[in-house]
A and B are shown apart, each in its own frame.
Chain A
Amino acid sequence: EAQVTQNPRYLITVTGKKLTVTCSQNMNHEYMSWYRQDPGLGLRQIYYSMNVEVTDKGDVPEGYKVSRKEKRNFPLILESPSPNQTSLYFCASSKGIFTGELFFGEGSRLTVL
């Protein structure tokens, strides 16, 4: 089954404790992206990757890091989480940004205390 898998789905952590949200897709997609969803703000892009070893900032990259060492994986790293990073995070992939739909993961709800 074609899917984008994120882990963990739910996480409560404390300020400053590094965490990683993993994202994996099994569709051989070149394009992957991270979004955060906040009420009234829609989906805002954090980082995206056009292919292995190619990543770039989206609209709200501050406080986040990513890496793309393998085509299927695109982890999101919060080196020192802060309460303003409390949000619902979605990973997504597609063949290319303008060549088809974005397939979203199920989302990861992160709470930073």
Chain B
Amino acid sequence: GENVEQHPSTLSVQEGDSAVIKCTYSDSASNYFPWYKQELGKRPQLIIDIRSNVGEKKDQRIAVTLNKTAKHFSLHITETQPEDSAVYFCAASDMEYGNKLVFGAGTILRVKS
């Protein structure tokens, strides 16, 4: 089955700087890669996703890039703000089982003002 590794586990940046979180996956057949944001004490919420037929996707200050050859994808947040502080989870579809999303362990992002 699919295995997703996420790095770093914690990331501190100064307000206004960029933040990058990277994930690698093991199953070359995986084709769907969402990112979820979980604020302290709240539920995870989808912030952006990408499918394997697309190399990059942007939504305002966030972007996701996908390298299928290397089997890794990354979340990029530009001009970070204090409200970006949260735990971010990447995930990948598990094509062997067809109906599962496998999540990474999460990255705690702290934006210092």
Contacts and interface: CB of A to CB of B under 8 A. Distances in A.
Interface string B80-112: 000000000101010000111111111000000
Interface residues of B, number: 24
* Interface size, A (range): 20 to 34
A101 interface: yes
B106 A48 contact: no
Interface string A85-109: 0000010000001100110111100
Contacts of A45: 100-102
Interface string A46-60: 001010000010110
B71 to A, nearest CB: 18
Q: Per DSSP, are chain B's interface residues mostly helix, strand or loop, or mixed?
A: strand
Interface string B40-73: 0011111001000000000000000000000000
A44 interface: yes
A90 B38 CA distance: 12
6 contacts: A35-B103, A42-B104, A43-B89, A97-B100, A102-B36, A104-B44
Given A48-B99, A90-B43, A102-B34, 5 more contacts: A42-B103, A48-B100, A59-B100, A101-B45, A104-B44
